[in-house]
Amino acid sequence: MVWAVGFALEQPLRDATLACPASGILKQLEYNRFISMTRTYIETREVILKTACELFGQYGYDAVSTRMIADKAGVNLGGIHYHFGSKGGLYEEALKIAHNVDPPLTVRQLLDETPDLFSTPKGKAYAIYLIVTDYFKRQPLKVENWRRNMLFRELLSPSDHYLKIHEAYNIKASETMLDLYFRLAPEKSLADACAWISYPTSQVIFYMSANSLNQKLVDEVVLDTLYHSVIKTTIRAMILLLDLPIPAQLQEPTL
């Protein structure tokens, strides 16, 4: 976003330099100064955010002060307030990085691309595969320690800052899952739907909490295979619970 704003402001200045040769040197100096300031702005913001992520992950929100962040980042204390407004604003930005907040794939998007997707059992099963696979791709099954620490700490004792992220992301993901479920099984109850969507959520929480132990017990290749198998098994279970056929993408190879 900062880069986009910088480019939008940069172009008129570049055009003015070309259109006015008499003042070209002055304009070029202004342009160079602008670019330098923009780069400094971006770099300062990034180093503050990176440092904050590491400290919040290691010590938690309450134990970290803006002075600690500024000292470790090598910036002025006022830089934190200038870029993020407050410690809380900085923490929320760190949470957004820790918890991928890209918007989830929705049922509406699937229907826009393939209007008759839900017209057959095979299509319904494939819709589950697409939605749940997208959900897992955006989950922190295997993450850096600071990310896992921040997210797990918030799962155990959610802060007001996390609840904002939860409302912006997790609720949308849950709404997508509920929308999918009731399109596939409109006769079912809300309790049934909540139990169904808890399958992927529970797997994410378990494997996120066990990430450090898993990394010590098995190597990277085995861990990747494990997570891939967990995802496939979870999606297969969700499909079978609705008496739908298993898509080819989830079929086990035959001997």
pLDDT tens digits, 89-115: 999 999 988 876 677 889 999 999 999
CA–CA separation, 232 and 129 (whole Å): 9
Task: Answer yes or no: pTM beyond 0.75.
Answer: no
Higher pLDDT, 7 or 158: 158
Average pLDDT of the chain, as a whole number: 81
| Closest C-alpha to 126, from 255, 253, 251 | 251
Mean pLDDT of 10-15: 49
Higher pLDDT, 190 or 18: 190
Q: Please give the domain boundaries of the chain with CATH numbers for all domains.
A: 2-97 (1.10.357.10), 99-250 (1.10.357)
Mean pLDDT of 26-54: 72
pLDDT band at 151 (very low <50, low <70, confident <90, very high): confident
> What was the pLDDT predicted at 118?
95
SS (H, E, C) 151-212: HHHHHHCCCHHHHHHHHHHHHHHHHHHHHHHHHHCCCCCHHHHHHHHHHHHHHHHHHHHCHH
CA–CA separation, 87 and 77 (whole Å): 11
